[in-house]
Structure 1
């Protein structure tokens, strides 16, 4: 069933009180690459972010051991210098820097790093922890269903285990350059993790001159016991739920630190993992800023992750902020 947007949704309200600006601490950006088209599309975003925040950009290639048949001579592992040489030419040989001002790439501090590991994701996470990386930018194939279960996802493992926020760029069939950020979508579940996501989104909105889209999803599933009373939706039990949710979103915005920004409030009924991405597509969102609660182990296997579902489906980049991990919200000077 498609998500139904309530009549109170989509109204624009100016901030009811001045925001409290904060600074974002993005000094080191890690861009892992496997030289695929997927990572090439993400490179443009890594370059733009490094330029905008005057950040040091780390280009990392992880050579995955035992991934190929060692007895096949065509699968011999390249030597370290060959990999480093390829990393050095990655930007020069790709048109990812075309959207930046002249000389912007030359002004960046870029490190080229080659690591070996039995798996890519742990190597990426270990390097991020060792170097105090503030943000990881990486591409994702956006696989779903059986293929994802069989192949897994490096991006999703990095999102679950990274010590810092992760900026994911889903692969598209056509080559896309980074679009201007005009609309930033922030899913809100009213947790403190969502509050930090909103703070970051407010700062990004101020930087880009963008409008915020605050979205709360009312889960549509009801316990079967309610069916005997004719209730098939949460609206049947609480008819004014959309108005109350909109008021709660407005209060949440007012009480959250961050720069002033134009904001619209949206309340829909549906499934968060599916309908956040659908909303982004239907409302021309250019970036999704979302927090993850950091589920792990059996709980993650049984419940999945709303954030991971959004990453796989989103039509635009997704900035994932990690619960209990390194924040990009600066805490004081320096």
Structure 2
């Protein structure tokens, strides 16, 4: 598998990239090639007083490259200019990446850096599965909050095609997964079917995971989807929330659209979003 790893060379980025456990988890799910990417914003010019930004970023990427090559990955580096989320998506598309990885401090006040609003923009527009790796906020030397990336997974589903695609990611995530919680949130206004019927659907999905030796539980809740997903995360403390995303679809304001963006902003742990297939 080929991954694009986006970094702004901040302390938070460094914490994620140099975490041995995180790198080991990526290797366990099949990642063997990484494209390290940093974006110089368009409004930063070489003639500005101070450091040569592009050269500084190349040196930073070379340091990270050494760490990742030492962990057994093939690594290429890219220093590009433009709007971060657009350039990251563009490179992911160009190199036919299987996933994009970005660090995030969640609801950070940083607006123009990769560790900040770019994670949310990527959640809305990503062309490949996106791993948002949550990093500690408010620390001079931040740490990754849940470094066993895929050990415990919370999977919210609305039983849509996009949710099915996200569930299919277990086919490779299972090599690093020990526990899973399958969740469906029913609106209080939804009078179709009953909780038992929904629980049976979840149990059918759980059977496959149990066959892969993943200890799995199912849960049905009622209420606002995003709020209930976050509440469940607080209770079961997964390493990662796995869910579908409607990406650039006109229908993205439905459950697995705007909700996935909300989860990226609010989740305490990592989030892995699976978008619709690339348009051909």
The one-character-per-residue Cα deviations of 1:288-314 (angstroms, maximum 9, x if unpaired) are 11111235569659x971101111121
SS at match of 1:107: coil
Q: 5+ unaligned residues in a row in structure 1: which ranges?
A: 1-26, 98-103, 223-233, 327-334
2:91 alignment counterpart: 127
Query: Equivalent residue for 2:173?
Result: 204
Deviation at 1:87, TM superposition (A): 0.9
Shift of 1:42: 3.0
Q: In the alignment, what sits opposite 1:109?
A: 74
Within 5 A, what are the aligned runs for 1:83-162? 83-90=57-64, 105=70, 107-117=72-82, 119-143=83-107, 153-162=117-126
Could you say which residue in structure 1 is the equivalent of 2:162?
193
Range moving further from structure 2, 186-195 or 135-144: 135-144
5 Å matches for 1:1-334? 27-43=1-17, 44=19, 47-52=23-28, 53-67=30-44, 73-74=49-50, 77-80=52-55, 82-90=56-64, 105=70, 107-117=72-82, 119-143=83-107, 153-173=117-137, 174-176=142-144, 178-179=147-148, 181-201=150-170, 203-205=172-174, 207-220=175-188, 222=189, 241-253=194-206, 259=212, 261-294=214-247, 296=249, 300=253, 305-325=258-278
Structure 2: gaps of 5 or more residues: none
Contact 1:274 1:313 in 2 (8 A): no
Q: Which has the higher contact order (CA 8 A, sep 6+)?
A: 1
In structure 1, C-alpha distance between the alignment counterparts of 2:134 and 2:240, rounded to whole Å: 12
User: TM-score normalised to the size of structure 2?
Assistant: 0.80
Distance across 2 between alignment mates of 1:33 and 1:121: 11
Aligned-residue Cα RMSD (Å) equals: 3.5
Using a 3 Å threshold, how does the CA distance of structure 1 residues 148 and 191 change in structure 2: closer, same or farther? farther
In 1, distance between residues paired with 2:103 and 2:239? 16
**In 2, distance between residues paired with 1:49 and 1:58?**
17
Task: Provide closer, same or farther for how the CA distance between residues 163 and 54 of structure 1 changes in structure 2, counting only shifts above 3 A.
Answer: closer
Regions of 4+ moved over 4 Å: 147-152, 252-256, 295-301
Aligned residues: 268
Residues 202 and 259, structure 1, Cα contact 8 Å, conserved in 2? no
Q: Which has the larger radius of gyration?
A: 1
Determine the C-alpha separation between the residues in 1 that align with 2:230 and 2:252: 23
Rate the CA distance shift 1:116–1:279 in 2: closer, same or farther, 3 A. Answer: same
